[in-house]
Structure 1
Amino acid sequence: MTIIPDPSDLIIEQVSITNEVTITVHAASPTASCPCCETISKRVQSHYTRTLRDLPASGRPVHLVIQVHRFFCEEKTCVRKIFAERFPALTLPRVQFTLRLQETLREIGFALGGEAGARLGKQLSIPGSPDTLLRVVKGTGLPVASSPRVVGIDDWSWKRRLRYGTLICDLESSKPIDVLPDRSVETVSAWFENHPTVEIVSRDRSSEYAAAMRKGAPQALQVADLWHIGKNLADSIQTLLARCRAEIRRSLQVQATPPEQEREEMESMREQEWHPPRSRSVVLAREGRRAQKLDRYTQVVELHHQGLSAADIASHVGIGERTVHRWLTGGSFPEARRRRRRPSLIDPYERYVLNWWQEGYRNGTQHYKELTAQGYKGSSKAMYNYLATLRTPRSHASKSSPSKPQGRKSTPSSSAPLENFSAQRATWLFVRQPEKLGERQKRELALIRQASPSAEAAYRFAQAFMQMTWEHTGQQLDTWLHEVEASHLPELESFAKGIQQDKAAVLAGLTLPWSQGPLEGHVNWLKLIKRSMYGRAKLPLLRARVLHVAEKEPSRAATLAG
């Protein structure tokens, strides 16, 4: 590295080396051109000293002391009569850094931010405060998305569950092209209105993004991401398996339960079900979790009666030993505690909404406008969620529990297959490709399918749908939906209903090669940048650092895109 950048335009007068390097220079040319009219002048009016900071040399800070001449402009019509000579290859006017030091500070700021970048610069003898680094970063021009054709859109959280932003990527180049401050329909649709060249948009199952596409880019084809569709299917399968746990485990017990007793226990379990005022999918998921927990509790009580220790029971059932002790000590089925309600932006207006509802006013759109006029900052969805709690009164069905554990008996029973059956773990077996399963997994899957007709049907439907995602055979979707509707499996019927509501986008996702994969990598990188700035950065700085990766580091952008 040369100590002086572009020394051909400068003459060195003196070099002083102590704890730092000081170099005194002046311009090699006796003339200079006026910055306004570009007339060459050699009439010197005066001179002054200008000090610049440059990159360190051998760990020592470097200062350039430049003797700058002022010239008279010889063009009589020029508005500037006196001007100072400039050094365009060395620095910019009214800047205290050389160009190469400024570029180094810019790269440090983009990579590490203000505080961390300043700490690193101090170790490397590179001058620059946190504010200087951020000022250089913010002053950098950002790339402008010219004419994107295929884009992906996804959200990221400023603050989880409260505030979200939006990241948009060009899927053809796998580069981020913009960061939006929120995920509202107005903001997203406005962006698409300003980019009419978009033909295809890949998104998750968000209804807000779907509405924004219809409003801002009606010409674009919406593509639902296959990973999110598969995740929705897996959630439905898990709910179904949780509901069927008792059926699966009992059918494989070594000592079969007498039919009369089994019917009584099933009736007891039905009496204990609670239907909260939630959506159908939430109700099914909650019932499935409770049925699985109830069956596990029943199993713990039975094994305790057979004389097994808490450690052996925990191993058989697949839960923790402390959980076994707590259940046995409690003496009754441990119902799930009601979760504490999180604070909501609608809380200050709750009394007003309640009075309005009791008076018979049920127009949610009109009421949302009234709340907004009174200062409500939340979304309409949050208000409708609160209205849903008023529409359906909560009622608890009578709940009975298995009998209180009695003293131990002396003869323990032998272990049965799938004693520690878990719906969450078994779901993976249902949605994975069969040839990728190990021998033990194949045996467990076969036992589950043999034990429950519902599980067998769910497996066939899950494999048929996943086959469409693996092979992009979306033309089979209609047939699959009709078969699910005829199956009378409530969990899969709920999933199919959601597919019907977004059928065009799902069909495109099952046919076209576009997905959210590249976008997820960039969302992770955005979160890393945000957290490295301790949440204090505003949108302009965050946006600049995210888009800089795509512009200056294409290899990293490709790596993040997978």
Structure 2
Amino acid sequence: MIWFAKNLITYERPRRVIVLHRLAGGEACCLDLLYSFLPHLKDVQVEAVTVADDEVLVKARTRGVEASCRACGVPSSRVHSRYRRQLRDLACAGRPLQVELEVRRFFCVNGSCESETFAEQVPGLTQWHQHRTPLLRGLLETVALALAGRAGSRLAAALGVTASKDTLIRLIRALPDPEIKQVTVLGVDDFAKRRGHSYATILIDMGSRRPIDVLDGRTGEVLAQWLRERPGVEVICRDRAGGYAEGAREGAPEATQIADRWHLWNNLCVAVENTVRAHRADLREPEPEHQALVEEPAPMPVQLESLTAIRTRERHAAVHTLIAEGKNHTQICQILGLTDKTIRKFRSATTAEELINGPRHSIRQIDQHAPYLHQRWNEGVHDAAQLHAEITARGYGGSKRSVRRFVLPLRPYQQVADLPAPPPTVREATRWITSDPDHLTTDEATKLAQLKARSARLTSLAGYVADFAQMMTNRTGTQHLEGWLTDIETGDFPALHSLARGIRRDQNAVTNGLTSAHSSGAVEGNVCRIKHLKRQMFGRANLDLLRKRVLLSH
């Protein structure tokens, strides 16, 4: 124990007493050292410090002669009583630190005050109705905002502080919301509280790139109400959602709306994929004029359409029949028993062909070695065991039976045709068309050139994509968007016609997005951060707790 007395300061341990320092005048250098390490104790008189294996206890008392009433602010020096407060403080060298502080209760000398007595407070050390010092509370709030409940409790224990997960969550909920200052450029986007069921809206100050508010719901009225209460927004960066467009027009009619370029490019990529799918016959190379078969094999049976394709055609027909009968979106969902997203997909498709990817062939492991097997068969190697040994050396991990089944249809022939290269998939062709040519490999660039050489429609589609990419990169939407839309509308691509109609409905915002330097990049980054926070809390928190962490965890 370290005693601060008038004559001597000692550190008492079993069987050993260590003299630390003698006092010099009215103050001791040991006290100065203590106050240097614990500056929030400088306004109290430290009487003793007890060091144990599992805790450090500091006994102190207040120094002031008088204190001000909490209710009326009138100072008083009439002491009513004294009592001791137990305060938890930041850990000291890994040990929990507790301050036992003797404080006084004063009489209020103001006769008109409703409080007869009040307790004195020490700035930086005590707070009303708190058993923790402000430093410890600040630490726990920081831990709670970073890690939330269970993980935060484990980290606090490692720091020498005991706090349950419920305590940390209560601390987060007790924090005040940050002040919303004047916002000139506002970013808006939605995120899922529970995907497919409920959503919320996040608002970003694009100047500071920080979230300023989280709203429950993603309707236009929610955004419009917020904008009416906080005028002064000049620019609104948003996605292509019609609800936010309408809310921005109602709440801030003078503000400039900017459609995000990434969403525009994503909409174009979806339209390109649908177009490639509608013309997927162009992905195959034309059949050679002469087959290398010595004898003609028996004709292959006609492959029937898959059950998935049949079901897709039936649902597409049913949805559009109900639309023709005047049913609204909700009624169609209820009648067919399908989800909102599924019905929207069928409504947006002009024909069922846009939703059918064609027959799906399972890719067997042996198919990767089929060209080599055909080559060896033409060289006169017809023994399945030998062929199996050769392709096993090339990385094949299947059985001999699979090789025997593969060569069985080849038995009637001495020579077979070389296998053509498999055609690219719809998504592969879409990626080649929508990628920067400098980012394609040599093989991919060659395949794309071959694809464009044998398909005038895909060549025209690639030209539309290249023009839009150049317009988006060079920010020349004001000069070139109208001409690009006109070319699209006069073309023969229904999926691009749908894209053009959507852009026409929001053409001013799209033009601004393809011209202005503003974008929704900061908004999308914060949405990704929200997803991380949701995973930390395992979806068990309400929106109020998630909102606090989003706004305060920067």
Q: Same fold by TM (over 0.5)?
A: yes
**Structure 1 residue 429 corresponds to structure 2 residue 463:** no
How do residues 15-414 of structure 1 correspond to structure 2 at under 5 angstroms? 15-18=49-52, 19-251=54-286, 274=313, 276=317, 277=319, 282-283=348-349, 287-288=353-354, 290=356, 292-294=357-359, 310-312=367-369, 410=413, 411-414=415-418
CA contact (8 A) 2:41 2:125 kept: no
In the TM superposition, residue 216 of structure 1 has moved relative to its aligned partner by: 2.2
**Structure 1 residue 520 corresponds to structure 2 residue 524:** yes
CA contact (8 A) 1:47 1:67 kept: yes
Q: Deviation per CA, 1:348-404, whole angstroms, max 9, x where unpaired?
A: xxxxxxxxxxxxxxxxxxxxxxxxxxxxxxxxxxxxxxxxxxxxxxxxxxxxxxxxx
**Structure 1 residue 446 corresponds to structure 2 residue 481:** no
Query: Equivalents in 2 of 1:309, 1:9: separation in Å?
Result: 82
Query: What does residue 42 of structure 2 align with?
Result: 8
Give, as a single letter, the amino acid of the residue that structure 2 aligns with 1:220.
A
How do residues 453-532 of structure 1 correspond to structure 2 at under 5 angstroms? 453-474=456-477, 475-532=479-536
In the TM superposition, residue 34 of structure 1 has moved relative to its aligned partner by: 3.3
Q: Deviation per CA, 1:159-203, whole angstroms, max 9, x where unpaired?
A: 111111111111122111111111122222211221221122121
What's the secondary structure of 1:511's corresponding residue? coil
Q: Deviation per CA, 1:282-315, whole angstroms, max 9, x where unpaired?
A: 535851453x524x66x99xxx9xxx96444699
Query: Equivalents in 2 of 1:421, 1:78: separation in Å?
Result: 85
Compared CA separation, residues 252 and 191, structure 1 to 2 (3 A) = farther
In the TM superposition, residue 100 of structure 1 has moved relative to its aligned partner by: 0.4
What TM-score results when the alignment is normalised by the length of structure 1? Answer: 0.72
**Structure 1 residue 533 corresponds to structure 2 residue 537:** yes
Query: Equivalents in 2 of 1:521, 1:314: separation in Å?
Result: 47
Q: How many residues matched?
A: 452
CA contact (8 A) 2:291 2:417 kept: no
Give, as a single letter, the amino acid of the residue that structure 1 aligns with 2:358.
K
Query: Equivalents in 1 of 2:163, 2:179: separation in Å?
Result: 28
Give, as a single letter, the amino acid of the residue that structure 2 aligns with 1:15.
V
Query: Equivalents in 1 of 2:89, 2:465: separation in Å?
Result: 64
Which structure has the larger Rg over C-alpha atoms?
2
Q: Deviation per CA, 1:427-479, whole angstroms, max 9, x where unpaired?
A: 12212222333322221110110111110110111111111111111121111
In the TM superposition, residue 236 of structure 1 has moved relative to its aligned partner by: 1.5
Compared CA separation, residues 39 and 164, structure 1 to 2 (3 A) = closer
In the TM superposition, residue 55 of structure 1 has moved relative to its aligned partner by: 0.8
Query: What does residue 394 of structure 1 align with?
Result: none
Compared CA separation, residues 105 and 57, structure 1 to 2 (3 A) = same
Q: Deviation per CA, 1:248-292, whole angstroms, max 9, x where unpaired?
A: 3133758589xxxxxxx99x99x98945435677535851453x5
Compared CA separation, residues 77 and 502, structure 1 to 2 (3 A) = closer
CA contact (8 A) 2:285 2:423 kept: no
In the TM superposition, residue 490 of structure 1 has moved relative to its aligned partner by: 2.0
Compared CA separation, residues 285 and 26, structure 1 to 2 (3 A) = farther
Query: What does residue 336 of structure 1 align with?
Result: none
CA contact (8 A) 1:234 1:431 kept: yes
Query: Equivalents in 2 of 1:512, 1:314: separation in Å?
Result: 53
Give, as a single letter, the amino acid of the residue that structure 1 aligns with 2:58.
I
- Tell me whether 248-257 or 122-131 shows the greater mean CA deviation: 248-257
- Tell me whether 199-208 or 71-80 shows the greater mean CA deviation: 71-80
CA contact (8 A) 1:281 1:491 kept: no
CA contact (8 A) 2:283 2:423 kept: no
Give, as a single letter, the amino acid of the residue that structure 1 aligns with 2:349.
V
Query: Equivalents in 1 of 2:72, 2:352: separation in Å?
Result: 78
* Structure 1 unaligned spans of 5+: 258-264, 330-404, 554-562
Query: Equivalents in 1 of 2:238, 2:283: separation in Å?
Result: 37
Give, as a single letter, the amino acid of the residue that structure 1 aligns with 2:449.
A
Q: Deviation per CA, 1:230-256, whole angstroms, max 9, x where unpaired?
A: 111111211222232322313375858
Give, as a single letter, the amino acid of the residue that structure 1 aligns with 2:463.
R
Instruction: With a CA cutoff of 8 Å and minimum separation of 6, indicate the structure with the bigger relative contact order.
Output: 1
Query: Equivalents in 2 of 1:254, 1:150: separation in Å?
Result: 63
Query: Equivalents in 1 of 2:191, 2:131: separation in Å?
Result: 38
Compared CA separation, residues 114 and 500, structure 1 to 2 (3 A) = same
Query: Equivalents in 1 of 2:275, 2:411: separation in Å?
Result: 34
Query: Equivalents in 2 of 1:220, 1:117: separation in Å?
Result: 42
CA contact (8 A) 1:14 1:23 kept: yes
CA contact (8 A) 2:188 2:201 kept: yes
In the TM superposition, residue 527 of structure 1 has moved relative to its aligned partner by: 1.2
Give, as a single letter, the amino acid of the residue that structure 2 aligns with 1:191.
W
What's the secondary structure of 1:6's corresponding residue? helix
Query: Equivalents in 1 of 2:139, 2:98: separation in Å?
Result: 16
CA contact (8 A) 1:153 1:519 kept: yes
% identical aligned pairs: 32
In the TM superposition, residue 541 of structure 1 has moved relative to its aligned partner by: 1.4
Query: Equivalents in 2 of 1:164, 1:86: separation in Å?
Result: 45
User: What RMSD over aligned residues (CA atoms) do the two structures have, in Å?
Assistant: 3.6
Compared CA separation, residues 62 and 514, structure 1 to 2 (3 A) = same
* Structure 2 unaligned spans of 5+: 1-33, 293-301, 321-344, 374-396
In the TM superposition, residue 81 of structure 1 has moved relative to its aligned partner by: 3.5
Query: What does residue 327 of structure 2 align with?
Result: none
Give, as a single letter, the amino acid of the residue that structure 1 aligns with 2:268.
L
CA contact (8 A) 2:371 2:419 kept: no
Give, as a single letter, the amino acid of the residue that structure 2 aligns with 1:98.
T
Query: What does residue 16 of structure 2 align with?
Result: none
What's the secondary structure of 2:353's corresponding residue? helix
Query: Equivalents in 1 of 2:288, 2:520: separation in Å?
Result: 44
